[in-house]
Amino acid sequence: MSKQRILTVDDNEEIRNIIKILLESEGYEVIEARDGNEALSLVDDSIDLVILDIMMPGKSGLDVCKGIRETYQMPILFLTAKGSDSDKSFGLLLGADDYLAKPFSHAELTARVKSLLRRYYVYKGKETTVADDYFTYDVFKVAKDRNEVFTVSSTGEAVPIDLSELEYQILKLLIASPGRVFPAQLIYESIWNEPYFYSSNATIMVHIRNLRTKIEEDPSAPRHLLTVWGKGYKLV
């Protein structure tokens, strides 16, 4: 079995060397990039995980993350000295999967890496695919750039679902990363484009409830759009 390949992107050579030594000791193959441009030139379908520093000269990690997500769905772990919630939320909004602040321990890094890779490979058999500008996952087919949503029956028939624009935006956000938990704040700020306040949670709850009535066979016992209590929502 071939080794899982990890791309680590950091302008600090010492940090790259530490990550390389730690992860190679766990049996991973590690390739390195010194900056954002080099990282984008190295990313391809053979990469299973990207570890990405935010603060780099030239292209920032946020720019690189956005560029990767235009084509690839491998997990991205932000590794940075910046630890504020706003930085974390912005990174997740751009498509990162997790966030680890420097300084980090061997145990912290390897635990995050193993968790991300495990989830990635679990969902690869049922993962989101992008074809003809659609996200498809399980029974759902959602257009990337317009409010057009279908469920696919057991016979292969595509049945349209009539969603409001906000319901469509929520479903599109969730289906882009199935299994990932989206906090209410991240959902609200990415879709409403407004600062999140505690009262905003009620707005999200109403739209989630309405969305469930349209995509679930039994909205009172949802099978696809789940609440993760105290954390947010996810599509499974």
Q: Output the average pLDDT for the chain.
A: 86
Q: Give Cα 79 to chain centroid, integer Å.
A: 15
**pLDDT (tens digit per residue) in 176-197:** 888 899 999 999 988 887 888 8
Q: Is the pLDDT of residue 154 over 90?
A: no
Vertex 64, ends 59 and 65: CA angle to 5°? 145
pLDDT in tens, 209-236: 999 999 999 999 999 999 999 999 999 9
pLDDT at 126: 43
**What is the C-alpha to C-alpha distance for residues 49 and 40, in angstroms, rounded to an integer?**
13
What pLDDT band is residue 125 in, cutting at 50, 70 and 90? very low
pTM, to two decimals = 0.55
For 152, half-sphere exposure in the C-beta direction (CA atoms, 13 angstrom radius) is 9
40-83: pLDDT as tens digits: 999 999 999 999 998 888 888 889 998 998 888 888 998 877 55
**Could you tell me which residue, 204 or 112, shows the higher pLDDT?**
204
Instruction: Supply the pLDDT for residue 194.
Output: 80
> Cα–Cα distances in Å, from 56 out to 42, 51, 60, 148?
17, 13, 5, 38
What band does 150 get if pLDDT is binned at 50, 70 and 90? very high
Give the residue from 178, 163, 194 showing the smallest Cα distance to 226.
178
Structure confidence at residue 205 as a pLDDT band (50, 70, 90):
very high
Cis peptide before 178 (omega within 30 of 0): no
Give the strand pairing for 225-228 and 232-235. antiparallel
- pLDDT higher than 70, residue 130: no
Burial of 159 per CB tally in 10 Å (0-12, 13-18, 19+): exposed
Helices (H), 30-153: 36-42, 61-69, 85-94, 106-124
